A and B are shown apart, each in its own frame.
Chain A
Amino acid sequence: MKSVPPGALTAALIIAGKDLRSELRRRTALVSAVVFAALILVIFNFARDPTSLRAEQLAPSAFWITCAFAAVTALSRAFAVELEHGALDGLLLAPVPREALFLGKFLGNLTFVLLVEGVTLPLFVLFFNVSLKGALPGIVLVALLATVGFVAVGTVFSALTARVRFNELMLPVLLLPFMLPPLAGAAQVTAALLNGRPLVESVGWLRLLLVYDITFVTLSLLVFPALFDE
């Protein structure tokens, strides 16, 4: 069988597909990320003074901090799994541009993190007694906008820290500063939406998140190949 090197975009989709397939087959990562998220949500509820702070007031922050932590744990594995059995060398030897490798890993991570967020959302509704009526489309939009940017940077840092000592500590130290703008925006917009305010009011935040996404996806795509310049 003659093998033709796939185009960059096809290659990216193949890599993303491979990652998601192996995650879904093993399910350990997805299950543990969801259980982890559920546990943080529960702990959040008890890490407050119930007489002065209602659960609803804490809800947007609890949701987004939970998502951030779950994303960090998911991202820390993204390249670590490739180190097993020298899989990364195989990927690097494949005749695909490094940009395609980034795009594939990025899409795989993005889908995974969005999946975890999607599963966390019902748990959040359940535990924090919030009503999503009318707010859901806005929350989905802001979740998408907030997640794209930090997953792009997270993909670069995941590749970068995979082979560094103390990587499980290094990734959050490097990545958490990058989560401030998306998380601040997402929590603010979520809070406004849950209070019944229209999405139009939050257009400033949405614009900031969009610019953040464009900047960091582009920049990550540009700097990622430098990590494997051997």
Chain B
Amino acid sequence: MSSLPSSTNSDTRAAAGRALSTGRVLTVIGLLAVAAALVRAIAFTGVEAVQGPAQKIMYVHVPSAWCAFLAFGLVGICSGLYLWLGDRRLDTFSEASAEVGVVLTGLVLVTGPIWGKPIWGTWWQWEPRLTSTLFLFFLFVGYLTLRRAMFDPAERARYSAVVGILGAMLVPFIHLSVYMFRTIHPRPVVLNPEGPTMPGSFVATLLFSLAAFTLLYLGLVTTRYGLGRLRELREARDVAAA
């Protein structure tokens, strides 16, 4: 990387710095929005008649699941684009998105059972969406572990892009096979798939929370992306110095 002209280097540094500060601003706004959504959910949205206060966990659970799937979808798309275009920024973004996605999936997998125990009567159900989420978590923990185990940046980028593409393609298959697994072997399920239709105020709170979590995702991923770019610059400098 020592062949890079220094002006390109300082451009990259400036761009990374901009990403970092934009990301921080977005993260703060996102956190405030999430806090506001939680206040609205707890204090200003009605208590669901059947499920009681446990239902309120949906305002965290559903938005984080949505953002997690968004995060991993973007990892898949950016991985494919990376192999095609070879732009290092796509790889840095994939890593950032996978990291934030793993955190969000963790949130989904923690809030799910907390809600499931009082409502379904069980912590865990082998239900398609649950299982897909769990496997997303495994897949991208594997993805991040692979990244940590590799040193050469170009090789790491190509290898993890391959895993990212294959992983993104696997999710629909897992969903489908768990679905078929259950339809062939039905078990008594407490869950009613239709569910009571939600009143308008619930939907409004959910949408608000969804927007807040998306904002938080964007903030975190932009911050992480900026950090990733700065780290690359340092790696390049170390390589040049060595």
A residues with CB within 8 A of B: 153, 156-157, 160-161, 164-166, 170, 173-174, 176-178, 180-181, 184-185, 188, 204-205, 208, 212, 215-216, 219-220, 223-224, 226-227, 229
* Residues of chain B at interface, number, CB under 8 A: 28
| Residues of chain A contacted by B118 (CB below 8 angstroms) | none
Shortest distance between the CB of B155 and any CB in chain A (Å): 8
| Residues of chain B contacted by A153 (CB below 8 angstroms) | 166
| Residues of chain B contacted by A176 (CB below 8 angstroms) | 138
B residues with CB within 8 A of A: 83, 135, 138-139, 141-142, 145-146, 149-150, 158-159, 161-163, 165-167, 169-170, 173-174, 176-178, 180-181, 184
| Residues of chain A contacted by B83 (CB below 8 angstroms) | 223, 226
Give 8 CB contacts A-B under 8 Å. A153-B166, A164-B146, A173-B141, A177-B142, A177-B170, A181-B174, A188-B184, A226-B162
B176 touches A181 (CB 8 A): yes
A205 nearest in chain B by CB position: B180
B173 touches A181 (CB 8 A): yes
A170 touches B181 (CB 8 A): no
A173 touches B169 (CB 8 A): no
A164 touches B149 (CB 8 A): yes
Q: Secondary structure at chain B's binding surface: helix, strand, loop or mixed?
A: helix
Q: Given A181-B174, A212-B173: A223 and B180 within 8 A (CB)?
A: no
| Residues of chain B contacted by A204 (CB below 8 angstroms) | 180
B169 touches A216 (CB 8 A): yes
B177 touches A184 (CB 8 A): yes
A227 touches B135 (CB 8 A): no
Known: A185-B180, A223-B162. 12 other contacts (CB 8 A): A153-B166, A164-B159, A170-B145, A173-B138, A173-B145, A177-B174, A181-B170, A181-B174, A188-B181, A219-B166, A219-B169, A227-B158
Query: CB within 8 A of B177: which of A165, A180, A226, A227?
Result: A180
| Residues of chain A contacted by B181 (CB below 8 angstroms) | 184, 188
Q: Complex: how many Å from CA A219 to CA B170?
A: 11
A163 nearest in chain B by CB position: B155
B174 nearest in chain A by CB position: A180
Q: Complex: how many Å from CA A176 to CA B139?
A: 9
A177 touches B177 (CB 8 A): no
| Residues of chain B contacted by A212 (CB below 8 angstroms) | 173
B183 nearest in chain A by CB position: A204
Query: CB within 8 A of A223: which of B135, B141, B165?
Result: B165
A156 touches B166 (CB 8 A): yes
A185 touches B177 (CB 8 A): yes
Q: Complex: how many Å from CA A188 to CA B178?
A: 11
| Residues of chain B contacted by A160 (CB below 8 angstroms) | 146, 159, 162-163
Shortest distance between the CB of A185 and any CB in chain B (Å): 6
Q: Given A170-B145, A227-B158: A164 and B150 within 8 A (CB)?
A: yes
Shortest distance between the CB of B86 and any CB in chain A (Å): 9
| Residues of chain B contacted by A184 (CB below 8 angstroms) | 177-178, 180-181
Q: Given A181-B176, A208-B173: A170 and B149 within 8 A (CB)?
A: yes
Q: Complex: how many Å from CA A177 to CA B131?
A: 11
| The 3 nearest A-B residue pairs measured at CB | A181-B177, A181-B173, A223-B162
